[in-house]
Structure formats: C-alpha cells, structure tokens
Amino acid sequence: MTARLRSPAAQWTTLVPVLAVVLLALTWGRELPGWVVVLVTAILAGSVLAAVHHAEVVAHRVGEPFGSLVLAVAVTVIEVALIVTLMLDGGDKSATLARDTVFAAVMITVNGILGLSLLVGSLRHGTAVFNSEGTGAALATVATLATLSLVLPTFTTSKPGPEFSTVQLTFAAVSSLILYALFVATQTIRHRDYFLPIVKQNEPASPEQEHAEAPSTRTALISLGLLGLALVGVVGLAKGVSPTIESGVDAAGLPHSVVGVIIALLVLLPETIAAVRASRRNQVQTSMNLALGSAMASIGLTIPAVALASLWLPGPLVLGLGNTHMVLLALTMVVGALTVVPGRATPLQGGVHLVLLAAYLELALNP
C-alpha cells in the first residue's frame, strides 16, 4: 500500500485535492464562464476519484467493517453539505431537494450498487456469498429509516402537504440518529463478525484475499487529511457548478427532482467504484456493507442535518414521497429481503435490482 502511495497514480490523487481547494478559493462566489465550468467539473471528478483512493487507504488500515463505515460517512458528509448549500440558494424550488436526493441515494445504493456488486461477484465467482445476518440487519434499518423519514410525512395531518410538523421532524431526526448509532455499534463492536467478508457460507475470508500490506499509521493519517481536502473540494466545486446543472435540467424540460438524482449519482460514485472492486475480489460482504451503509448514512445523517438547517432555511422542507416512489420503495425492500435471506445470490438477483434502478431513473426523467 505504501508503494501505491508513491506510484504516479497515487501522486495524482495527492495533487488533485490540493488543486481542488485552490480552484475553490479562486472561484468561490463568482459567476463562472463556460470554460471554467468545464475545468471545475474535471477537477470535481478527479476529486471524487481521489477521495475513493484515500478512503480505501484509510479503510485498509483500519480493516472491515470500519473501512466501509469510513467511506460511507465521508460520502454522506459530501451529500449533506451539498444539500444544505443548495437549499440555502434555491428558494422554494429546493423544498424537495433533500427528499429527492435521499430517496435517489436509497434507490442507487440498494438497487444500483448492491445489484451491480451481486452481478459482478456472481459472474466472476459463480455465486455471490455474503452474511445474511449482518446484511439483513442493515436492510431492516434502511427500511425503517426510509419509512419514518420519507413515507410517513405523506400521511401526517399536522401540517398541510407532505411535511412534518416541528415536533414530528424532531422525532424523525432523533430516531434516525439513534438507529444509525445502534447499527454502528452492532457493526463495529458487538457483532462485528456478521459484517466480515466470507468466501463460503459461515466461513471467514482467507488471508490471501488481502492483496497488499496494510499501510502505516503515518500513511493512513496523510490519506485521511487528503480525503478531507478532497471532500471540501467536491462540496465547494459542486456548489459552484450547481447553477449550471439546474439551468441545464430546466432547459431540457426535465423535472426539478432530476437535480437530486444528479447529486446522488455524483456523491455515490466513490462507493460504487469501491463496491465493484471488492466484489471482483470475492468480498461481496464488503460491497453489501458499502451499499447498505451508504443508504443508512444518507438517511440517518442527512435527515437530522436538514432538520437542523430548516431552522434558518427560508422555505418549507418537503420530505413525503409521492405514490409512484412509495411503490418503488416498497418493491425495493421486498425484493431486497428476498435477496438477503439466502445469504447467496446469482446474476438473476443482481439483474432484478438493476432493473428496479432503471425503472426509477426512467420515471425520474418521465414521471
């Protein structure tokens, strides 16, 4: 791993976060011409990839399932910061941005990342094998968080429309934090073995699956600092190009909710890359940890953050899903439970989840 940090690719991932922060300082608060938007977008994409690299270095140092947790929390920090900054500037049009982004993150992780990981793992190794106890607990937590935060507001009557009252929003935020904290404690302390990669049912992964020596503490700390720079760069630069994204969505005649989908696709790119890499190494449990951990963090940390931000945000905070999205969410959770229970999957299960993601994306573009 130390050798990787000295390679040209690793040097590139060291340089890009620094460039991103410098570019952010030069462009912050300015209206950007077209060529600058292109440059910012390129550095933004590079910062995402750099974040993946440095998160994996830190993850390799601390081991599973802590590594998946580090990347999930890092990605969620990006998501929360993007949502809050865009809501501050978006007015009434941003009232549904948190809901759209969180729901998009759930659909992309539970159907996209999970489905792609199962497909890649089963095609490469015959059958994708994972621990049903840990994965089932993660999916149950995601289903509960999604229902409390995104479904119930549609049916409450304390406020008109799909919104929570202040008391209800506070309950949802506190409950999300408690459930997330309980899951993290379960994943990292009491039942850590439920979330470790396995090769065969109930057998731990062999040492040969670790392809590189763990980095030193110094190397991991450097990567942690560069990960922080990369995240700052991603958040700030994404805010800079967000007016271009929104105007492009409006010019194309697409629903404004597509902005939330684009944000979710952007911030979940590091998780997707890391999950597919793990699946190719026959560490499907790591991929499941990344997918469901990101979905859980996206709800469990984003909802409390936007609830707190709503105290000074000028517009309303709409969290309740429409009928179409509730049907997709319910189908996703039912299919996910059927996928998780056996503890092993074939390409069919991966394909089913990817079709559900495709259906969500198609309906996002053509509601």
Domain harbouring 309, CATH code: 1.20.1420.30
Q: Tokens 């890391």 appear where?
A: 274
In a domain, 344, yes or no: yes
Flag whether the pTM goes above 0.85. Answer: no
Residue 361 neighbours by CB distance under 10 Å:
18
Print burial letters for 28-41: b (CB count within 10 Å at least 16), e (below 16).
eeeeeeeebbeebb
Distance CA 38, CA 203 (A): 48
In a domain, 182, yes or no: yes
Alpha helices in 147-283 (DSSP H): 166-185, 217-251, 258-267, 269-280
User: What is the signed CA dihedral for 265, 266, 270, 276, rounded to 10 degrees?
Assistant: 30
Contact criterion met (CB below 8 Å) for 76 and 301: yes
Look up the domain containing 175 and give its range: 12-201+214-365
In a domain, 77, yes or no: yes
Contact criterion met (CB below 8 Å) for 197 and 211: no
Structure tokens at 366: 């053509």
H/E element, 128 = strand 128-129
Residue 25 neighbours by CB distance under 10 Å:
9
Q: Tokens 């941003």 appear where?
A: 94
H/E element, 129 = strand 128-129
- Region of residue 202 (left: phi > 0; alpha: psi -120 to 50; beta: else): left
Walk along the chain (367 residues) and give the pLDDT tens digit of each residue: 444 444 544 578 888 888 888 888 888 767 777 777 788 888 887 887 787 778 778 877 776 667 667 777 777 777 777 777 767 665 566 778 888 888 998 999 999 999 999 999 999 888 899 999 989 999 999 999 999 999 999 998 888 878 898 899 999 999 998 998 898 888 888 788 888 877 554 444 444 444 456 677 788 888 888 888 887 887 778 777 777 777 777 787 888 778 778 877 877 877 788 888 888 888 898 889 888 988 888 888 888 888 888 777 777 788 899 999 999 999 999 999 999 999 899 999 999 999 999 999 999 888 7
Domain count within the chain: 1
Distance CA 273, CA 280 (A): 11
Nearest to 93 by CA among 298, 233, 245: 245
In a domain, 2, yes or no: no
Contact criterion met (CB below 8 Å) for 76 and 305: no
Q: Tokens 């994965």 appear where?
A: 135
Distance CA 121, CA 281 (A): 8
Do you find a cis peptide bond into 207, omega within 30 degrees of 0?
no
Distance CA 105, CA 84 (A): 16
H/E element, 345 = strand 344-345
In a domain, 52, yes or no: yes
Query: Partners of 351 in the beta sheet?
Result: none
In a domain, 99, yes or no: yes
In a domain, 93, yes or no: yes
Distance CA 205, CA 283 (A): 8
In a domain, 83, yes or no: yes
